[in-house]
């Protein structure tokens, strides 16, 4: 009869996600992972499989926890001012936290997607969910009279997603607040009624 686990798999998965987020897939060693997770190699392999499988599970956890909370915030927007406030939180978090690594999805897209189909599928899924949230938020903003007529919500959502991805890509060396705010203002002003 197998022994019960002496750890919570979701808790240690969150710690593994942190290692991959900080170091990326290639630079994260099994020793780094087990040290952060507080488990031994056998427990890692027994619970999560190999490093690649753990990485894919970490991407899934990232989508559920980090991207899920971002999407909730976007879903709560009813005006372009709400979208501006969303981006302001992103800008401020990059400038006020000591160490903000580049977005895990961004790292996965750049480093792993070209060579791993499962990673690419996860990146595409995350991107699709964020795009849909922005598209729906923009439709609601339009319904509330905030967006001029003739705007393609689909196209404008891509612009917002790419703006967010640009900020995320520079998270470790954030865009100066003034410039980041000007970029957000320029995009949103182009949509205003």
pTM: 0.88
| Model confidence pLDDT, tens digit, residues 171-182 | 888 899 999 999
> What pLDDT shows up at residue 3?
56
Domain boundaries, the chain: 9-189
Token duo for residue 44: 């890692």
pLDDT confidence bin for 106, thresholds 50/70/90? confident
> What pLDDT shows up at residue 1?
47
C-alpha 95/C-alpha 66 separation (Å) is: 18
> What pLDDT shows up at residue 102?
72
Give me the DSSP letters along 103-157: PHHHHIIIIITTT-HHHHHHHHHHHHHHHHHHHHHHHHHHHTT-B-TT--HHHHH
Residue 2 has pLDDT above 70, yes or no: no
Let me know if domain 9-189 sits in CATH 1.10.357.10: yes
pLDDT confidence bin for 108, thresholds 50/70/90? confident
Give every CB contact of residue 180 below 8 A, 6+ residues apart in sequence.
87, 91, 167, 174
> What pLDDT shows up at residue 100?
65
């Amino acid at each position: 009869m197998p022994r019960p686990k002496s750890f919570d798999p979701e808790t240690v998965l969150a710690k593994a996600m942190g290692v991959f987020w900080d170091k990326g897939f290639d630079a994260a060693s099994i020793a780094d992972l087990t040290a952060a997770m507080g488990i031994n190699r056998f427990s890692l392999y027994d619970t999560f499989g190999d490093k690649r499988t753990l990485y894919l599970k970490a991407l899934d956890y990232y989508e559920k926890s980090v991207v899920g909370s971002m999407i909730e915030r976007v879903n709560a927007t009813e005006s372009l001012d709400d979208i501006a406030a969303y981006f302001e939180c992103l800008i401020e978090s990059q400038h006020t936290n000591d160490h903000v690594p580049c977005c895990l999805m961004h790292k996965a897209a750049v480093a792993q997607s070209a060579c791993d189909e499962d990673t690419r599928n996860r990146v595409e899924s995350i991107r699709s969910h964020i795009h849909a949230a922005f598209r729906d938020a923009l439709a609601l903003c339009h319904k509330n009279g905030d967006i001029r007529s003739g705007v393609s919500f689909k196209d404008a959502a891509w612009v917002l997603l790419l703006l967010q991805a640009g900020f995320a890509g520079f998270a470790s060396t954030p865009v100066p607040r003034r410039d980041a705010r000007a970029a957000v203002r320029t995009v949103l002003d182009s949509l205003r009624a």
